[in-house]
Amino acid sequence: MQNNNTEAEQHKPHHSLKRKLDHEEQLSVHNNNKEGLDARENQKKLKESSTNEGSTKTDIIAQPERLSILIMSDIHNYDIYFERVRKILDKNQVKVDVVLCPGDIVNIKTKEEYKSKEFQFESLKSVEKIAEGMLSFAPKVYLIPGNHDPDVMFENKLTQPKENIHLVHNSIVELREGLYLAGFGGSVPSFHISPPELVSTRAWKGYPHSTDEAYGKELAPLVERMKTEMNQPSSSSMPTTTLSTSRSSEVNTEQQEPKEASHYRQYIFMTHNGPANCDTTLFQKVDITSPKIISGSDALRGFIEQTELQSSCVCLVHGHTHLFRPSSSLVGTLPIVNPGSLMEGNFAVIQLERQTHLENRPFLLESVTSYRFKP
């Protein structure tokens, strides 16, 4: 149907997605993190207190810091759609601070292409060109490799490193004071769950991880580092740590007076494939009679179900599963966001807000807005 006044609907935090379809589609969902709800309720009470008890109380309420993040995944060389994204963002007066890309920037498919050094090199140059295009949206771009990207991306290398383009596979980088991005690329094998004759047969190979167990073994050290560092003082004067030697590990290390930490470190966790048994990793084409495929990782789900990651992660962002419509879900209380494939006309914007009156969780995921256009 036609609707020239497309609106983003703000929903109650139960994560059901209502839709308004147009030439582009927007969905907006609040996470149902109870602490987030308590934060908004506390802020409301503070405002009421300032109204009832006099103007001196208004100083209690600090203006929150907001962070707007554009997520474009599974581009598969279709950066021609960047202009479509720009027009939609401009139409809706959306400004973004950071761009995240959870992988599959290009489209390496065959064994011959993976083995060809020349093809790998040309593909890496294409990645760099596409990443430079992302800089037109925001001053910082962060990438991880997918299963269709050049092998060298798993070493966080570019042919011509750029100051504002960061490869963050197997790395932790600082986005804002106290807020870090943990990245891990690649995919695990995916399997059919329907029809009956295909159940448990492999649908897609994993790359470079041949099994979920291998994926979990490689991911485990990064998760342990996240858990170890989550209670360290958060300050932009402190260098972050990574599991690689990439440029993405660079942060501001100018000499500053140490700041007293009022909260621990938080993470946005960016992976290429998502967690198992999650709506965001269930693949089925528009035709409901087509096969269903589960594409998530049991190992990843096991990690994010751990108490430390449930409390320290603001959200997990992933790609890989090309959904007909973008999707958000929960694992425990952790919001999971799959923006869908840009190649198929999907992308998303998430809004984070720093609640300064919360001692331990300064950033909260306020909204997920998913956009769809007709390719």
Q: So what CATH class is 62-250+262-373?
A: alpha beta
- For the chain, the domains span 62-250+262-373
Count of CB atoms situated within 10 Å of the CB of 94: 16
Provide CB contacts within 8 A for 156, sequence distance 6+: 167, 168, 169, 170, 171, 244, 245, 246, 247, 248
pLDDT (0 to 100) of residue 361 = 55
Contact call for residues 351 and 363 (beta carbons, < 8 A): no
Phi, psi of 29 (to 5 degrees): -135, 135
Side by side, the strands of the sheet bearing 202-204 are 202-204, 190-194, 292-294, 282-283
The answer to whether 280 and 297 are in contact (CB under 8 A) is no
Strands 24-29 and 363-373: antiparallel
> What's the confidence (pLDDT) of residue 10?
31
Q: How many residues does the structure list for the chain?
A: 375
The CA distance from 282 to 338, in Å, is 11
pTM value is 0.78
Cβ(274)–Cβ(280) below 8 Å = yes
Under a CB-based contact definition with an 8 Å cutoff, are residues 349 and 70 in contact? yes
Tell me if 372 sits within 8 A of 359, measured CB to CB. Answer: no
Residue 294 pLDDT: 84
φ, ψ of residue 288 to 5 degrees: the values are -70, -10
pLDDT at 220: 98
Q: State residue 292's pLDDT score.
A: 83
SS3 195: coil
Tell whether omega for the bond before 195 is within 30 degrees of 0, i.e. cis: yes
Helix (H) / strand (E) containing 46: helix 34-53
CA 298 to chain centre: 18
CA 343 to chain centre: 17
Q: In order along the chain (375 residues), what is the average pLDDT of each group of 10 residues?
A: 32 32 42 40 37 33 77 98 98 97 94 88 96 98 97 90 94 94 96 81 88 98 96 56 34 36 78 95 75 90 97 96 80 96 96 80 88 94
List the beta bridge partners of residue 194: 292
